[in-house]
Amino acid sequence: MRPAESSSTTPASPSRFDVVVVGGGVIGLSVAWRAAARGLSVAVVDPAPGSGASHAAAGMLAPVSEVTYTEEPLLGLGLTSLARWPAFAAELARESGQELDLRREGTLDVAFGADDLAALGELGAFMEKLGLPVERLTGRECRRLEPMLAPSVRGGLLAPDDAWVDPRRVTRALRRALAGRGVPVLRERAAEILVAGDTVTGVRLASSPGTTADVRPAFSGALDTAADARPSPDTAADVRPAPGPDTAARVVNAGCVVLAAGAWAGGLAGVPEGVLPPVRPVKGQIMRLRSAVPVLSRCVRGTVHGSPVYLVPRGDGELVVGATQEELGFDTRITAGGLWELLRDARELVPGVTELEVADVVAGLRPGTPDNLPLIGPTGLPGLHLATGHHRSGVLLAPLTADLVVDGLTGAADPGHPCSPSRFEDRA
């Protein structure tokens, strides 16, 4: 089954690619698109592209309002990537002919009780110390910005530079852009990374395509048949350009493999023990509500009963409510408790959501890492690159990740980068 050994990168051909990307979420597709734009021959392998964590993501591009006291390196990555989003989105929209709904009206973080308000005040001071743009608002000022907010909101912090995007539009646009560039997106499951000598030579496909268990599309409502809903196997975005690789042989030969399989990246066969990325699945349940008129004009977040909740408005009147954070392994069930929390918290922030229609609820698995930073770039196994471990920041960090991975593929990686996979390798 193994292909002949080959350690140098050769021009694109039906039988051998410069790069095969394992994983067709927002990260894998972004990497593939940017690599193709750099002139590399690329293939993507995913049994259900765009149906994983990307499908369950709210799409907040909010490094400022998501800053936490111990994670300043993540803030830096987020700010860098946010700065690249407008150009990334504009180029992607132009190439795909698809609007992305990138919006830049900021995030409003609100507080209810006195304790909440004090904590928010401290966070504001921390943000100011970091030089981040932030405005402190009274409860009345919050409601002036967002009239649907609960009367009990006591105050808030506005992060005016935060943005958001619709991740389902992004993955769809990326698939269209890849189709336009002749990059095949193979609806196959990668079974094993192939290695000859000490170098990666490609990917063996599973004997049957199979499906991911990442997102269980429970609760896909009757109205969820719109174009931006659950990915369909029949979308034009998946036109496979000819000539494609010979999948009958069940092997995709490539000079490099980029492992962008999210929470599953830690379990792919063929990757040596010391190089396997230490990712774990962090479950998130998210709900989409439908409204005839827009309910909010910017992202709103708050802490309800100790758990953070956010509401993200879409251009078509939809309101995304997210998200639970649960450490339950590879479990993607929609639970009564998870759904109840989302509904309770959303009602607390914006009581009027009670009247809205529930369009769908999905669960996804985020790839968490021990230090909450992603794993991006070349590994100790020549030819194997990582692009995973983005936890809650996959959509935000997609443009930066794509650039970093392409740097690594073209020999320009920075080995001292905080996202370098080397920080977890060969610890024993």
Contact residues: its own copies, CB under 8 A: 216-224, 287, 289, 333-337, 339-340, 343-344, 346-347, 353-361
CA 148 to chain centre: 29
DSSP 421: G
Region label for 305, one of left (φ > 0), alpha (ψ between -120 and 50) or beta (otherwise): left
Task: State which residue, 138 or 354, has the beta carbon closest to its own copies.
Answer: 354
Task: State which residue, 71 or 326, has the beta carbon closest to its own copies.
Answer: 326
Task: State which residue, 43 or 363, has the beta carbon closest to its own copies.
Answer: 363
Task: State which residue, 262 or 338, has the beta carbon closest to its own copies.
Answer: 338
Q: How far is the CB of 69 from its own copies (least distance, A)?
A: 31
Distance CA 54, CA 295 (A): 24
Q: How far is the CB of 315 from its own copies (least distance, A)?
A: 20
Q: How far is the CB of 167 from its own copies (least distance, A)?
A: 20
Task: State which residue, 135 or 357, has the beta carbon closest to its own copies.
Answer: 357
Q: How far is the CB of 330 from its own copies (least distance, A)?
A: 15
19 CB contacts (<8 Å, ≥6 apart)?
Answer: 32, 35, 40, 41, 42, 43, 254, 255, 256, 257, 258, 409
Task: State which residue, 95 or 224, has the beta carbon closest to its own copies.
Answer: 224
Q: How far is the CB of 331 from its own copies (least distance, A)?
A: 10
CA 141 to chain centre: 33
Nearest to 281 by CA among 261, 256, 255, 299: 261
Task: State which residue, 363 or 409, has the beta carbon closest to its own copies.
Answer: 363
Answer yes or no: are the C-beta atoms of 11 and 242 closer than 8 Å: no
Task: State which residue, 150 or 358, has the beta carbon closest to its own copies.
Answer: 358
Nearest to 261 by CA among 176, 184, 361, 375: 375
Q: Cα separations (Å) of 159 from 58, 69, 310, 348, 359?
A: 17, 16, 14, 21, 28
Rounded to 5°, the CA angle 246-248-253 comes to: 45
Q: How far is the CB of 235 from its own copies (least distance, A)?
A: 20
DSSP 257: E
Q: How far is the CB of 219 from its own copies (least distance, A)?
A: 5
Helices 167-180 & 72-96 angle (0-180, nearest 10): 50
Q: What is the 3-state secondary structure (H, E, C) of 3-25?
A: CCCCCCCCCCECCEEEEEEECCC
Q: How far is the CB of 60 from its own copies (least distance, A)?
A: 20
